[in-house]
Structures are given as structure tokens and as C-alpha cells.
Amino acid sequence: MSKLPIIVAPMFLVSTPQMVIEAGKAGVIGSFPLLNARPVSKCAEWLHEVKSSVGNTSWAVNLISHKKSNKRYDDDVGLIKEYEPPIVITSLGNPSEVIDIVHSYGGLVYSDVATVKHAKKAAQGGVDGLVLVCSGAGGHGGTINPFAFIHTVKEFFSGKIILSGGISTGSDVAAAQLMGADYVYMGTRFIATEESNAQAEYKQMIIDSALEDIIYTNSFSGIHANYLIPSLHRQGIDPKTLKPKEEIDLSHVTDVKAWRDIWSAGQGVTAVKQRQTVKEIIQQLEKEYQKGMNRLL
């Protein structure tokens, strides 16, 4: 069984209970956003399924802790209290309320951060780990170089460091460890898996795309993120015409919904060459990891 320090990142509308379960069986940490399961009763079913399958083996859920953005916040917190996921990864907002709840049952709270300012706030709040969202990450990516981010955060934080941003191979995992990371966050590498909930066209686009097919923009969510340029073309959008969120006008493509039709991917997309199962990918990562470590000897 793999012992690689990998967290399969929680991906909005992509991650499924099956991904979490298969990741756990293969010896890495799987996760899913609570908001992927709607309504709340469906989310409860997902949590029950995962907990019944992998038990106390490390697995995680992602909570949007910004109450104004997450209308389901109270319900999601209630589910965390009931099902006690071993790890809760918070995004946006103040995680303090969640920290108290998760710590009460012995769980861990990690917060994803893209700036030093937010890293310091989360550290001061008492989180157990920080997900450093660096340049090249899929979804809401950051801009900081991973070397600089890790070195800076380690000056004021002694908890777990999870590195995120363009990490797609086992050699990348080895490199992240050398840099001082305890875990890596790996999302894009798993979008095209059999267990993923991504549309078939999305999976194929991931396989067909490379680094030059990624664009970094805040035009769709108001927060900068990395997207697949072919998915923009698919919706009749010319990337050259994109404007910042406060100025954007997409009235000419009224059916576009950023989270369904404009597809995200990180800069590590080039590493995805075929459809695989979660288990197959982790087995491949193990081999790549060993090769990477052997080069250091």
C-alpha cells in the first residue's frame, strides 16, 4: 500500500466519494468538497459511505468557511459534528469555529492560503496545517513561488505544510519533500480518473491539453484561477477579450456558468496522458517517486 504524502485535492463538482475511498485504499488521503453533494441529505449519504468504507483512515472534506458565500454553512458544520471527518480543509473566511469543533473530536484542520497574510491569520487561529496554494495550481491558484512560500511560512508556522501548484508526478512529490513540505496537494492529475465526476468531454480535454493551454484569470469567479483555454473556445469565448471580473460582460454567452462550462486545470496538466483509475495513478506515482528518490542517491 502506498505511503506517499499525497492529498487528492477536493475539486468542486469533480471529487466523489468513490475517489476518496479508492485513494484511502491505495494509502493516500482523499477529499471532497461538502458542497459537491446537494442537497444536505445527499451530503450525509456521501459522508456515511466514505466513513463506512475507510473508517478512521485519513480522509478529508473541504468546507467553505465564509458564511456569506456558503448559504449551507450551518448545515455543513452540523454534518462535520455528526460524521467527524479526520481532516477538515477550510477555504475562505475565518476557520475558528470549525477548529474548535474538529479539535473536540480529535480531528485536524488545514486551511488553504495563497498569500502570506492569510497564512499568518490561519496560523494565529490555530490550524494544524496550511495548504500553500502556489503559482500553477488548478482552480483558485496563487502567484507565489513555492520555494519562497515554504521558506517564509516556516518562519512563523510549525504545523503541517501541504504544497499545492502544478504537482503531477511522483518526482514532484519527492521534490516537495526536499523543499520541506509534509504533503502535496494533487488535483489536476486526478480529474480524468474513472471515479471522477468530470464530464467525459472535460476528461478528454485534460488528456489533450498541455501547459500552453492554461490561462490565469479572475474573469469568471472574481478570484484568479487557472482554466483550460479550449473550454473557453468551446463556449465561443476569445481569451484575448477577457476582462477583470468587475468589468466583464458575458451577455453574449448567456448559458455559460463558470463552474460547469468553463473548466479548470493546473499547470501540471501535461502529465495527464490517459484515462486511469485512482489506484492506477497512485501506483504510477509510486514508481515515479522511487525513480526521483534514486536520482538523489
- What pLDDT is attached to residue 252? 32
**Residues in the chain, total:** 297
What type of residue sits at position 20? V
What DSSP letter does each residue of 99-160 carry, written as one string?
A: HHHHHHTT-EEEEEESSHHHHHHHHHHT-SEEEEE-BT-SBS-B-S-HHHHHHHHTTT--SE
Nearest CA-CA partner of 26 in 178, 159, 193? 193
**Can you name the residues that pair with 184 across neighbouring β-strands?**
6, 163
- What pLDDT is attached to residue 250? 34
- What pLDDT is attached to residue 241? 83
Mean pLDDT, each 10-residue run in order, the chain (297 residues): 88 95 96 94 97 89 86 94 96 88 97 96 96 92 95 98 96 96 97 96 97 90 87 89 58 45 92 97 96 88
- What pLDDT is attached to residue 220? 77
Phi, psi values for residue 148, rounded to 5°: -65, -40
At 1, is the secondary structure helix, strand, or coil?
coil
- What pLDDT is attached to residue 69? 74
- What pLDDT is attached to residue 68? 76
Element spanning 88, H or E:
strand 87-91
In angstroms, rounded to a whole number, what is the distance separating the alpha carbons of residues 186 and 4?
Answer: 12
Is the alpha carbon torsion for 283, 142, 21, 52 positive or negative?
Answer: positive
- Segments making up each domain of the chain, as ranges: 6-196+277-295, 200-261
Is the alpha carbon torsion for 36, 236, 210, 135 positive or negative?
Answer: negative
The CATH classification of domain 6-196+277-295, taken from the options 3.30.360.10, 2.40.70.10, 1.10.10.10, 3.20.20.70: 3.20.20.70
